[in-house]
Structure 1
Amino acid sequence: MPAPSILSPRDGSNIDPRSLLSSIGEVVYSWDIHSDGLQWGPNAGDVLGRIPEAALNRGLAFAGLVEPGSGRSRYDAIVSSGGHDHGDGVVYRTRYAADLAGRKMWIEDAGRWFAGADGRPATARGVLRLERQVRDGELGAAGNDVCDRTALIERLEQTLGEHLPAERIIVVLIAAIDELTRLNDDFGHEATDEIITEVQDRLRSVMRRRDHLIRYSSNRFAILLTGCPQNQVEMAARRFSKAVGQTAIETGRGIALVSLRIGAAVAPEFSTQAGALIAGAENALAGAKAGASDTAVIARRRQGRETRADEPSLDVQAVAALNERRVRLALQPIVDAGTRQVAFQEALLRVGHGMDGPFFATAELIPLLERRGLVRLFDHRVLELATEFLAADPRLTLSINVSPRSLIDPEWLDAFLGCTRAAPGMSERLIVEVTETATIADPARMAGILKQIKDRGARIAIDDFGAGHTSLRHLRAFPIDILKLDGAFTQNLRRSTDDRFYVRTLIELARHLAVDTVAEWVDDELQATMLCDWGVTYLQGHLVGRAELPQRGDASALLHATG
């Protein structure tokens, strides 16, 4: 039985998601890591204050607001999170103090990153939450022996300038505590700070006098080894790993077993530039985390072929794939929250390099297609494939994502009307998903377009709902059937009372509007149980099923396998 309502009927008509988000100090963001472009929810000014424009628009500039030694920046949390993105992202989480226009605040920052073609983080979506103000003297102890990335580069440049002319080898080791997120969850932030301090002391205890230990971004340690032969790098790394992991660390919250992952880059073999050496060691560290390697991973110069000047760009390759019918749909189940039976499947675009994969990284491809105005071509193909699936299996219900560009394109709407007219009744098994941001540019026009889609029998879903773009007045104007709650909020239910309150309020808002809800990014049973108790209609995420490619011509196989 759903939990009792937390709002009165009168409250439900007055809910404003943007004001509510601001009141609990939360704001959503999206980060294009490759271009460093940062986009915030509409209440960013309310939460962050008048921070510099560069910090508002650039991810690395925002990282510059982080107080040294207070915690990992968002960038460091992402690159050190480990894991492989299989299409639905990798979780990251961190806590740090930042200077927000003169206010020093503790911040919790969590979300998911999505990989590019090289498997490394390309985009991220998450939510930033203000915890409290930093107390006087609170950062003093945390900042000892900690520097930022710029200071690290300067220190390494000084070391290179001193020793490379004398033909001494310089080894840069970048070490990070493994599974720091788990330690934070198990022991809490204060105990984790104790662990980090003890790790630093243990590393220093086995260093040679001529070496340097530099802690930066809280959980990351740079160790500069002078005159270490390349064939002894792994031996040196094992010495540091053994010092950290041979005995448990006692904290005020219990005993912790800690291990290190280490990446390395060697000068002059890899590079003679400080920035390149650090980046190489960090990339090697990411490889060590991904491969769960107990020994150091050493950065190597890339030996693969260079990109040819005449090699087609990504958008040209994608259009070629479209013309050669290398576009497919992966299906992810969305289940009834109470019964866990499959209610419908979300159809997700996959564009193959060849007929049977591998596939272009969606996190890179979709934004590029939108920027180049090509996304409409792919939305047309998704509609065609979805109608083929629906025609082949009368038990199947699908949701498809449609970009804002396609929705306002008369050709896409004509194609939709033509497809549904040719197969009466099929449109009742089709759900059209639009993002919350798609509804704000011209609400009246969008409401008219969505009404035409609804009149054909299809259902309308608002995707990634909760960032505060849409007012209650606008929601009432749209003929919506489903609100899909932004996973950036639902993934934090275990840890954040604010997010529990906010998500539950969104569910109440949906109930007030008489529409269904889908909770995205559902990964564990506790999360699912809370959502079910609060009355959410459907669940979507790793817990109930990942996106899979059906056998060609057989979309129903996934329906029955999952259900």
Structure 2
Amino acid sequence: MGKMSEEIFVRNDAPVRALIVDDSEDDTYLVRAELGRRGLLVDCRRVDCALDMAAALASEDWDIILADHDMPGFDALAALDVLKRSGKDVPFIIHSGQISDRQAVSAMYDGVDDFIAKGDYERLVPVVERELRGLRARRAVRHADSRIEQLAYFDGLSALPNHHLFCSKVADAIQESRERGRPPGGAVLVVDLDRFLRINASFGYEAGNELLRQVGRRLRAGLGPEIVLARLGGDEFGVFVPGASDRSAVEMLARWIVRSFDEPLLKDRVELFLTASVGIAMIPTDGDVVLELLMNAETAIGQVKLSGGNGLRFYERTMNAASAERLSMEADLRHAVERGELLLEYQPVVAAAQLKPVGAEALVRWMHPRLGRLSPDRFIPLADETGLIAEIGAWVLFEATRQARQWIDAGHERARVSVNVSAVQFAQPRLLEVVSEALRASGLPAGSLILEITESSLMTDVESAAGMLRALKNMGVKVAVDDFGTGYSSLSYLKRLPIDIIKIDKSFVRELCDNAEDAAIVRAIIALASSLQLSTIAEGVESAGQAEVLREAGCDCLQGFHFGRPGAAGLIRL
């Protein structure tokens, strides 16, 4: 934590802002002088009544409060009550000679951080420094909380609401209509940029990112404040028009969106022209569940694309060819395990200190007989929806533990294997039985198996999650929080749930070397994990520079393309 301490906790360039609650001006002067003589620069303000103290807390930020206890009509406990009512997080120290030890202990149970006898400056200085370190650590965590919330609900590229927040707003509007006894109404539009990949291929990804930002600004400027605009991902934007029921008015809006691309976008003074395809799903005609509406709007976009793009279509139920394809894939998935079509690839996880592999993450692939090699995002959601995840998840656990046992038998005694557990799989009590049986069948030590579970899976039902995690811990299995920072906007659950490892999401790592704020967030997460005695693994490490920053910050392990892409087990050189 050396680097972290230097950057977050040390602030010798600024005086400590101290609010002195005391009826003696002389004692206040003496506190400032004595602390300064001992190397602690203090900027003081004295108050001696509840009204003045409340005003001081409301008007300024303070680093610490030193309160005398015995004052006419006002004491330290009354001052503590003023602080509590303000809602401010400021360390509170009683600095008084007029309070008994019993009263002091009782006050500390009530929220006082420490008690120092008046005049004992040799003890006061280290106590103040300790409380300042704690305050700055809490502020760093709150800053990280805020940053994580921004990452969780807003698109980092365009600063627009992201897919998650868009879905929440649509769902909330539908639910509000129902609660008011009105049929839900509105329109969901998906805007897909035509042939956008050619921009990335011709001008590079940064040019593509700049154009996406311009598109977001152009659409936002032309849409009313009541309309929700979001970047859904890639080159897709979502538009939600609450309460819309007039198809002609919605069509007029969609036509404006299409025509808004008639004007060129600029990149380094070069004019670039784009077109867009717009799919429209009406509420409730085309659905009253947000994901269904998005899927139907996407289906409509497919019809626009077949006609060459640069147009719009309303969803129609005859456009359900995609649904037939989905049913066909579901039927194939039901036989994938028995037909031996699933396989595992492994991505190495390296120790940051030695940059040597200490294990690998198992990643499932499906060699579909007709569609070819499919990544998990193509079929795991379908497996979750249909209940097939139980069989597939069991196969992955048995195969991964068997492979890890082979690595250990080959002389790599400390090798570990990580297996992803979906939200649906984690919610099934049978998971414990499957894990236990996989360990027994393979002979793998429980401590060599890491189960990776997303934040959102853990937070769906915290109490049930805690029970499952305790059961896994009792078995000796390690638990990692996957995609840390993207599924929930608070860090408080880290101390509530029995976990072992934090996997820092790649969205934090991507701009680590270029974005000072992201670097500070990563350091704060690593420091927080260290203080909670949790290990850290950084995902998405794609350069030596990122690896070095993470290593210096104290990250335990690294994973990403810089150390190896997912591949066959034999390619992992532990």
Change beyond 3 A, Cα 1:274–1:484: closer
Does residue 407 in structure 1 map to residue 426 in structure 2? yes
3-state DSSP of counterpart to 1:313: helix
State whether structure 2 residue 165 is matched by structure 1 residue 27.
no
Aligned partners of 1:464, 1:441: CA distance in 2, in Å? 15
Q: Is 1:220 matched with 2:273?
A: yes
Relative to structure 1, is the Cα distance of residues 12 and 384 closer, same or farther in structure 2, using a 3 angstrom cutoff? Answer: farther
3-state SS of paired residue (2:270)? helix
- Preserved contact between residue 21 and residue 502 of structure 1 (Cα < 8 Å): no
1:349 alignment partner in structure 2: 364
Cross-structure match for 2:13: none
Judged with a 3 Å threshold, the aligned counterparts in structure 2 of structure 1 residues 375 and 429 are, in CA distance, closer, same or farther, namely same
Question: What secondary structure sits across from 1:27 in the alignment?
Answer: helix
CA contact (8 A) 1:28 1:488 kept: no
Cα gap change, 1:12 to 1:481, in 2 (>3 Å):
farther
Indicate the structure whose relative CO is greater, using CA pairs within 8 Å and at least 6 residues apart. Answer: 1
Structure 1 alignment gaps of length 5 or more: 32-36, 55-59, 65-73, 84-90, 114-120, 125-147, 157-173, 178-192, 201-218, 224-272, 282-305
Question: For 1:332, what is the secondary structure of its paired residue?
Answer: strand
1:326 — aligned with what?
Answer: 341
Deviation at residue 526 of structure 1 after TM alignment: 2.2
Change (3 A) 1:20 1:309: closer
Question: Does structure 1 retain, via aligned residues, the 8 Å contact 2:401–2:444?
Answer: no
Partner in structure 2 of residue 284 of structure 1: none
For residue 532 of structure 1, what is the aligned residue in structure 2? 551
Q: What RMSD over aligned residues (CA atoms) do the two structures have, in Å?
A: 4.8
3-state SS, counterpart of residue 393 of structure 1:
helix
Deviations 1:376-398 (A, max 9, x none): 22111101111211232212420
State the match for 1:150 in structure 2. Answer: 255
**Alignment equivalent of 1:371, drawn from 376, 385, 405:** 385
Q: Separation in 1 of the partners of 2:263 and 2:360?
A: 42
Match of residue 448, structure 1, among 463, 467, 486: 467
Say if 2:403 is the partner of 1:389: yes
Are the structure 2 counterparts of residues 101 and 477 from structure 1 closer, same or farther at C-alpha, using a change threshold of 3 Å? farther
Partner SS, residue 28 of structure 1:
helix
Q: Which runs of 5+ in 2 are unaligned?
A: 10-132, 156-161, 175-186, 202-207, 239-252, 277-302, 312-320
Stretch deviating more after TM superposition (461-470 or 416-425): 416-425
Deviations 1:411-450 (A, max 9, x none): 2211212233455652221111000101112212111111
Matches within 5 A, 1:126-145: none
Distance 1:309 1:458, change over 3 A: closer
- Higher-Rg member (1/2): 2
2:59 alignment counterpart: none
Aligned length: 369
Map of 1:558 onto structure 2: 571
The Cα offsets for residues 127-156 of structure 1, whole Å up to 9 and x where unpaired, read as xxxxxxxxxxxxxxxxxxxxx983475699
Q: Is the 8 A contact 2:146 2:489 kept in 1?
A: no
8 Å Cα contact 2:163-2:233 kept in structure 1 = no
In the TM superposition, what is the alpha-carbon distance from 1:514 to its structure 2 partner? 1.3
Deviates more, 1:320-329 or 1:20-29: 20-29
**Matched-pair contact (CA < 8 Å) for 1:480–1:515:** yes
Asked if the contact 2:451/2:477 (under 8 Å) is kept, the reply is yes
Alignment correspondent of 2:37: none
2:270 to 175, 182, 199: 199
Which of 198, 201, 213 is equivalent to 1:95? 213
Higher helix share: 2
* 1:462 positional shift: 0.2
TM superposition shift of 1:375? 1.6
SS of the residue corresponding to residue 361 of structure 2 reads strand
Q: Which residue of 1 aligns with 2:500?
A: 481
Shift of 1:61: 5.9
Shifted more, 95-104 versus 530-539: the winner is: 95-104
Partner SS for 2:403: helix
Cα gap change, 1:479 to 1:369, in 2 (>3 Å): same
Q: Provide the rounded CA distance (Å) in 1 between the counterparts of 2:4 and 2:480.
A: 25
Query: Secondary structure of 1:484's partner?
Result: strand
CA contact (8 A) 2:152 2:489 kept: no
**1-side partners of 2:351 and 2:562: how far apart?**
13
Of 303, 309, 312, the match for 1:279: 309
1:409-558 matched pairs, under 5 angstroms: 409-422=428-441, 426-467=445-486, 469=488, 471-548=490-567, 550=568, 555=569, 557-558=570-571
Aligned pair partner of 2:163 in 23, 38, 42:
38
Change beyond 3 A, Cα 1:61–1:337: farther
Q: What displacement does 1:410 show? A: 2.1
TM-score of the aligned structures, taking structure 1 as reference length:
0.54
Q: 1:220 corresponds to which letter in structure 2?
A: F
Q: Is the 8 A contact 2:505 2:539 kept in 1?
A: yes
Q: Which amino acid aligns with 1:457?
A: G
Q: Is the 8 A contact 2:148 2:489 kept in 1?
A: no
- Residue 303 (structure 1) aligns with: none
Q: Percent identity?
A: 25
2: CA distance between counterparts of 1:77 and 1:40?
26
- Distance in 2 (CA, whole Å) between partners of 1:363 and 1:346 is 16
Q: Secondary structure at the residue paired with 1:321? A: coil
